[in-house]
Structure 1
Amino acid sequence: MQTAAERATATGTSRQKFRVGVVLLDNFTLNAFSGFIDALRLAADTGGRSRQIECGWVITGHGALRASCGLTVTPEHEPVDPAQLDYIAVAGGNDYMLRRQPAWLDAYLRAADGAGKTLIGLCTGTFNIARAGLMDGRPACVHWNVRDEFIDQFPGIDTVSDNIFLDTGDRITCAGSTGASDLALHLVRRHCGAERAQQSLRHMILNRQRKASSPQPQFASGAGAIRDGAVRRCINLMEQSLDVTVPLAELAARAGLSERQLARRFHDALGQPPSRYYRHLRLSHGAWRLVHTTDPVMQIAVETGFADASHFHREFRRRYGMPPAIYRKAATRREPHGARKA
């Protein structure tokens, strides 16, 4: 069966090897959308000239759409006939908790699926594909920050949050953020070859393309199994504020509890007070940075919420049994080809 790009090539109208239609939704996440499109754009032509030669894309949607950052975008096209495309990507965003979506989106995605097209969930676009009933029997890769909500809305779908994206053939789901660029490069490499993917990387000043199995930097392992919703919400807040510690009083207020109630519920759920668990998250983040970046220890200490390198060193050694520098060297020996900072 010919791809849409192959059919265009056969008629002499294009040499595109694949073509993607991106459906923008209101409140979409700009980083995931722009990273995905730019990785395609920089691979499609030479010299960053943006001509759709090696691959193609069309940005679609209904009317003016506002990104979650406030930028307003007006797509040139309404959603196009799936027969003209090889992939349909849904660029979701901050409206994933609404639990409803336009009827036209359900109909369009089902038509694309019926035409045998691969559906891509960018960021929370996976929520929209699942809401249309098109993720049944397939695992979904979602960002760790929305995993609880996805499980709550779609309890029958196997949910993955330790990959940056997941390609299962007719569905590709992506946690979003910078992982969307890696997903686009995955498609470029598949259809256009490694050199085109490398060309895009060079233009984006990135050192490497991450694999789908690359981990999401998350540090609250096992938090998904915690039944107490207030504790899970506090853990999510902690993970989003690893550089500047959120005071216990603020955590409690945002959870709708007193400090004493929150401390008791943390102890019931995790066997430790919030402050100790917070320190655990910050140290886990520091350990991840030591292995996956070349940042100086002093910088990591400050950016994980410690007063200085000495404080970080002392707490890190107490937790891991060795100083940060030794931990980094040991990890490098274990994984000589491990990921370094892009």
Structure 2
Amino acid sequence: MRIHSSAFHYPPPDAPNIAPTPLRVGIVLLDQFTLTAFAGFLDVLRLASDYGGQSQQILISWKVMSVDAEPRRSSAGTLQTELSDLCDLTGYDYVAVCGGNSYTDTTPSKKLSSWLEHAYELNVKLLGLCTGTFAIAQAGLIRHETVCVHWNVIEEFQRQFPKIKCNVDNLFIDAGKVVTCAGSTAVIDLALYLLIRHYGREKAQQALRHMMLHNIRPARLPQAHFYIDLNPISDLRVHKAVHFIEQRIDDFPSVSSIAAHVGVSPRQLERIFKSSLNMTPAALHRIMRLQYGKWLVTNTQESITTIALSCGFADSSHFSREFKLLFGQTPRVCRNR
């Protein structure tokens, strides 16, 4: 007997004391897959699969695959070999599609799409890890569900799939037949969530201790993002510049380097920002830092001084003043609400 739920919350810790049916999980690696998403997800399964820490596939079995069993190179350049081809899905509970840096490829594998369609028809739950959600969407298997994507790729996802609702206010979203995850370390939380669903909280705690982690983050925890909504902005140069700044939030690039990246002069860049966003690149960077600071204020117990320094402010007073100007309240008031 398996315990299934499409809710966004964790199942109760007092799961019934019954002999669980072993889970079968397939993991498909896409080109330029991210190592953290792949290894984090698989390691949770491995650590919980037996009782003696021997990595035996007793409670959980898994198979790592690729289209035509081709080796897959990760986004870090390492090569994953000895992969299986897309297999017969009989008896499988989950298929996880692990993506990475190939999400801009809009010509998906027809073989993969067809295989995912078959999995969907067999009621095998699909897991989109990192940008693996793009492949599931390309197969036409996301209909009315809201999906979770990493804040760094939401703009591209919206461009490719304008009719699909997506957000960055979750680490992952369980919508029933399709579960989507932002990627990175959030896949660990997703894998732990699956353990709780099928085996109870104790099994998840076993994996948690082995990985030297302290807690299981809930699905509804917002991503630590500083995403700027550019949907109303049609100038692609602004999109490119903002993305460039996002990648360098800890070390603000000079206006000349941003302009060079976009292919305009510094003066042109300032004019573009003024007409599209009514602010300078430096002001945008400050807003991003404050948004990240607000996330830290509301989602961690770090001191305001530590948060201020983490966000690039000289001291907590400067941070608090800027915070209140943008959000209408001080960091302490925001935390206590």
TM-score bracket, shorter-length normalisation: 0.7 to 0.9
* Superimposed CA distance per residue, residues 99-154 of structure 1 (whole angstroms, 9 cap, x where no aligned partner): 11222212211121122211111111111111111113322211111111111111
SS of corresponding position for 1:78: coil
Distance 1:226 1:216, change over 3 A: farther
1:73 aligned to which of 72, 75, 80: 80
After TM superposition, the score normalised by the length of structure 1 is: 0.85
Compute the displacement of 1:331 (Å): 4.6
2:317 aligned to which of 301, 313, 317: 313
After TM superposition, the score normalised by the length of structure 2 is: 0.86
Instruction: Determine which structure has the larger helix proportion and give its number.
Output: 1
Aligned to 2:192: 185
1:333 aligned to which of 328, 333, 336: 336
Name the CA distance, whole Å, in 2 between partners of 1:203 and 1:149. 36
Aligned to 2:29: 24
Tell me if structure 2 keeps the 8 A contact 1:28–1:94. yes
Distance 1:2 1:295, change over 3 A: closer
Unaligned 5+ segments in structure 1 are 4-13, 335-342
Residue type of the alignment partner of 1:240: Q
Name the CA distance, whole Å, in 1 between partners of 2:291 and 2:207. 32
* Number of matched pairs: 317
Aligned to 2:255: 248
SS of corresponding position for 1:56: strand
Distance 1:331 1:47, change over 3 A: farther
SS of corresponding position for 1:22: strand
Identity %: 41
Compute the displacement of 1:225 (Å): 3.7
Q: Does 1:53 align with 2:58?
A: yes
Distance 1:73 1:318, change over 3 A: closer
Distance 1:279 1:225, change over 3 A: same
Aligned to 1:236: 243
SS of corresponding position for 1:96: coil
Unaligned 5+ segments in structure 2 are 4-18
SS of corresponding position for 1:128: helix
Name the CA distance, whole Å, in 1 between partners of 2:280 and 2:334. 30
1:38 aligned to which of 43, 46, 61: 43
SS of corresponding position for 1:188: helix
SS of corresponding position for 1:35: helix
Compute the displacement of 1:313 (Å): 3.1
What RMSD, in angstroms, separates the aligned Cα atoms of the two structures?
A: 2.4
Name the CA distance, whole Å, in 2 between partners of 1:260 and 1:193. 59
Aligned to 1:86: 93
Distance 1:188 1:162, change over 3 A: same
Aligned to 1:226: 233
Q: Does 1:144 align with 2:148?
A: no
Aligned to 1:10: none
Residue type of the alignment partner of 1:316: S
